[in-house]
A and B are shown apart, each in its own frame.
Chain A
């Protein structure tokens, strides 16, 4: 029997990503959100899983992407798609710049202190956006209307978010196979040792965060257009929902593994949708219980639990 390789899984996912929205057009928006969750989990895992830096502030880069797209599309006077493209580029550039600045300031902090610092970052960004008239302050911003025909809007965002998730996965997969990936793991396992071996840890860490920021900002621009409206605290800088889910999905699937974040995003998103459908009114409670179950029963994530099971079966 031939073994199932990464390529088989990637092929199956590509097929599902392309055919899914055509076969189930009613679910196109849910599928689009699924790919958004995949980007969330993958980008969080680059720092949290591979580099050992638990960031609770990655939502900032998503929010920057949301607002950059909204502002460019409002002010540039371009047709919809040109405006969206420019907005995504500006958002990505702004988020990378922010990651470099925050990274230079914060990536020297280790462990819990980094986690708490980044948590503050996310909250501060939401408060600033909510008080800034240029970006609509507390009433948020509306995105321009999608110009295509009825039904094509959902498909467009579903496929663009799928393409983004796929690109993010492939780029990260390649990176984790290079010496850069090993350097990230070395920083995670023993930062002092990595320094003492002469690794250039600061640029490595900043580059990793910038890459996360890049993909998150692109996802933010697309998501803002898909949702059609951005609220500073509930959409763009939604630390209590999106910001926490990023962490949960990566941990649920198995942080620091290739497929863990993808698997975690699938399990989490599907479970969440089922809660909304069948437990309406109790969905938040069910979600809270799910989080407890994840932390108690899958501390190493599904991939880690699976690897331990297989190791036991062998020995």
Chain B
């Protein structure tokens, strides 16, 4: 499997705080990669660096072999690299169906291509994907009126609507009703297997990430602490220490 995303020695500072220090990681085409680490270890900052929200202070980021470290968020998204947010971001005053329609890939086109109504094929796809995440009944509701968990699902569906090559998910199960988590894991797997979306997932729920990810990277204090298969990472004493403190 070839590398889809390569993060090479990325450093990002906020004033005197080094949020990411020489972080390197690789996401291979077609896999589900996990990113774990205690609170404040720099996971979300790394997402910001990859998707262009934060400029990197050092290092390089390659997507499909091409450097994206200097690009802004929108051009990066158009290359097929999207993210979701820990606190969810949806268009609150628009209906779920409208949220989906404006997230379609063709909405990224130029001005002229926007001067038409939403094509029937897009509407069908939006309906299918809303059904896929279990929100089809809510399609005419305002996105802002959904519960936090439902907004997470909507945001996930919006991302899929965009047909990304790589999707970065920031804590997809946080705030979701525990009884629905298994269903969500199943949907993430299906998005990966059936829609061909490579995933990089930040997750605090160890049961979820150990089940889901093929490979896991663990960050602590902004640096890569461990890397490997879920079993290897689980067995790594340094990972346990980072989470629980040294005994």
Docked-complex contact B108 and A199, CB < 8 angstroms: yes
Per-residue CB contact flags for chain B residues 153-182 toward chain A (1 = under 8 Å, else 0) read: 000001000100000000000000000000
B82 proximity list for chain A (CB < 8 A): 196-198
Q: In the complex, how many angstroms separate the beta carbon of B151 from the nearest chain A beta carbon? A: 12
Residue of A189, A190, A198 near B74 (CB, 8 A) is A198
Chain B residue, CB-CB nearest to A256:
B93
Given contacts A197-B103, A200-B111, are A182 and B77 in contact (CB under 8 A)? no
Q: In the complex, how many angstroms separate the beta carbon of B31 from the nearest chain A beta carbon? A: 23
Docked-complex contact B102 and A179, CB < 8 angstroms: yes
Docked-complex contact B78 and A189, CB < 8 angstroms: no
Q: In the complex, how many angstroms separate the beta carbon of A138 from the nearest chain B beta carbon? A: 40
Task: Tell me if B215 is interfacial: C-beta within 8 Å of chain A.
Answer: no
Docked-complex contact B116 and A182, CB < 8 angstroms: no
In whole angstroms, what is the CA distance A10 to B131 when docked? 37
Docked-complex contact B117 and A179, CB < 8 angstroms: yes
Task: Tell me if B66 is interfacial: C-beta within 8 Å of chain A.
Answer: no
Task: Tell me if B193 is interfacial: C-beta within 8 Å of chain A.
Answer: no
Chain B residue, CB-CB nearest to A179:
B114
Task: Tell me if B83 is interfacial: C-beta within 8 Å of chain A.
Answer: yes
Per-residue CB contact flags for chain A residues 184-217 toward chain B (1 = under 8 Å, else 0) read: 0110111011111111110110010000000000
Per-residue CB contact flags for chain A residues 161-197 toward chain B (1 = under 8 Å, else 0) read: 0000000000000010111101101101110111111
Docked-complex contact A190 and B89, CB < 8 angstroms: yes
Task: Tell me if B146 is interfacial: C-beta within 8 Å of chain A.
Answer: no
Residue of B73, B101, B162 near A182 (CB, 8 A) is B101
Given contacts A196-B74, A198-B74, are A179 and B94 in contact (CB under 8 A)? no
Given contacts A179-B101, A195-B74, A196-B83, are A185 and B111 in contact (CB under 8 A)? no
Docked-complex contact A188 and B93, CB < 8 angstroms: yes
In whole angstroms, what is the CA distance A179 to B107 when docked? 7
In whole angstroms, what is the CA distance A185 to B110 when docked? 17
A203 proximity list for chain B (CB < 8 A): 110-111
In whole angstroms, what is the CA distance A248 to B74 when docked? 34
B93 proximity list for chain A (CB < 8 A): 185, 188-189, 256
Task: Tell me if B237 is interfacial: C-beta within 8 Å of chain A.
Answer: no
In whole angstroms, what is the CA distance A243 to B109 when docked? 34
B244 proximity list for chain A (CB < 8 A): none
Docked-complex contact A185 and B74, CB < 8 angstroms: no
Given contacts A197-B77, A198-B162, A203-B110, are A177 and B91 in contact (CB under 8 A)? no
Q: In the complex, how many angstroms separate the beta carbon of A49 from the nearest chain B beta carbon? A: 11
In whole angstroms, what is the CA distance A258 to B65 when docked? 47
In whole angstroms, what is the CA distance A93 to B138 when docked? 45
Task: Tell me if B98 is interfacial: C-beta within 8 Å of chain A.
Answer: yes
In whole angstroms, what is the CA distance A201 to B102 when docked? 12
Task: Tell me if B217 is interfacial: C-beta within 8 Å of chain A.
Answer: no
Given contacts A180-B115, A195-B72, A198-B77, are A185 and B107 in contact (CB under 8 A)? no
Given contacts A195-B73, A196-B83, A199-B102, are A183 and B92 in contact (CB under 8 A)? no
Docked-complex contact B90 and A183, CB < 8 angstroms: no
A192 proximity list for chain B (CB < 8 A): 53, 73, 89
Docked-complex contact B77 and A190, CB < 8 angstroms: no
B20 proximity list for chain A (CB < 8 A): none
B107 proximity list for chain A (CB < 8 A): 179, 182-183, 197-199
In whole angstroms, what is the CA distance A178 to B119 when docked? 10
Among B74, B82, B110: residue with most chain A CB under 10 A: B74
In whole angstroms, what is the CA distance A76 to B188 when docked? 68
Task: Tell me if B44 is interfacial: C-beta within 8 Å of chain A.
Answer: no
Q: In the complex, how many angstroms separate the beta carbon of A255 from the nearest chain B beta carbon? A: 11
In whole angstroms, what is the CA distance A86 to B109 when docked? 35
In whole angstroms, what is the CA distance A22 to B115 when docked? 38
Given contacts A190-B92, A195-B73, are A180 and B111 in contact (CB under 8 A)? yes
In whole angstroms, what is the CA distance A203 to B114 when docked? 11
B102 proximity list for chain A (CB < 8 A): 179, 182-183, 185-186, 197, 199
Chain B residue, CB-CB nearest to A187:
B91
Binding site for A on B (CB under 8 A): 51, 53, 72-75, 77-78, 82-83, 89-94, 98, 101-103, 106-111, 113-118, 158, 162
Binding site for B on A (CB under 8 A): 175, 177-180, 182-183, 185-186, 188-190, 192-201, 203-204, 207, 256
Task: Identify the 3 closest CB pairs spanning chains A and B, nearest first.
Answer: A198-B77, A189-B91, A198-B108
22 contacts between A and B (CB under 8 A): A175-B115, A177-B117, A178-B115, A179-B113, A179-B115, A179-B118, A180-B115, A182-B118, A183-B102, A186-B102, A189-B90, A189-B94, A190-B90, A196-B51, A196-B53, A196-B89, A197-B77, A199-B107, A199-B108, A200-B109, A203-B111, A256-B93
Task: A182-B107, A196-B82 given; name 10 further pairs at CB < 8 Å.
Answer: A179-B102, A183-B102, A186-B94, A189-B94, A190-B90, A193-B89, A195-B74, A196-B73, A197-B102, A207-B111
